[in-house]
Amino acid sequence: MEQALSKYLMNFNQLLCSSDSLFLGTLVKEELKNNIAVYFLYLEKHVEEIMKKISPFIAQGISEKGLKGALDLNFAITRLHTPLWYDEEMEEIEGSYQDISRLSLLPELIKDACSIIGA
């Protein structure tokens, strides 16, 4: 019994260490989707406040396209510089690829120095 448990824990640890996206896409998929939705609600609620702190050009883009539209445009612009492994990692997180891609570029859009998502 102890040997079986040890093998299970070792396999589980390898899963966590080998592919974070596989972990996110299988074990915490619903929690991830919920957190993304909550985060977008937070951003939408504070978008006017955020727009006061960023460049007028970016603020205009957000007001014309909405926050998600501006993030989509930012993703399209940076797409040529996105490594192939990014898509491979995101494929493991079923149903959240577009929103995670949007959120990962939020600091780039507002020219912030770090990702506020991980904080």
| C-alpha closest to that of 96 among 33, 42, 18, 20 | 33
pLDDT > 70: percent of the chain:
68
pLDDT, tens digit, 9 for 90 and up, residues 33-89: 888 888 888 888 888 888 888 888 888 888 999 989 988 988 888 888 888 888 877
Q: pLDDT averaged over the chain?
A: 74
Is residue 31 pLDDT above 70, yes or no?
yes
Give the range with max mean pLDDT: 6-10, 18-22, 27-31, 64-68: 64-68
C-alpha span between 15 and 21 (Å, rounded):
10
Residues 96/33, Cβ–Cβ less than 8 Å: yes
- Check residues 116 and 68 and name the one with the higher pLDDT: 68
Q: Residue 85: what residue type?
A: W
**Domain range summary for the chain, segments of one domain joined by +:** 20-109
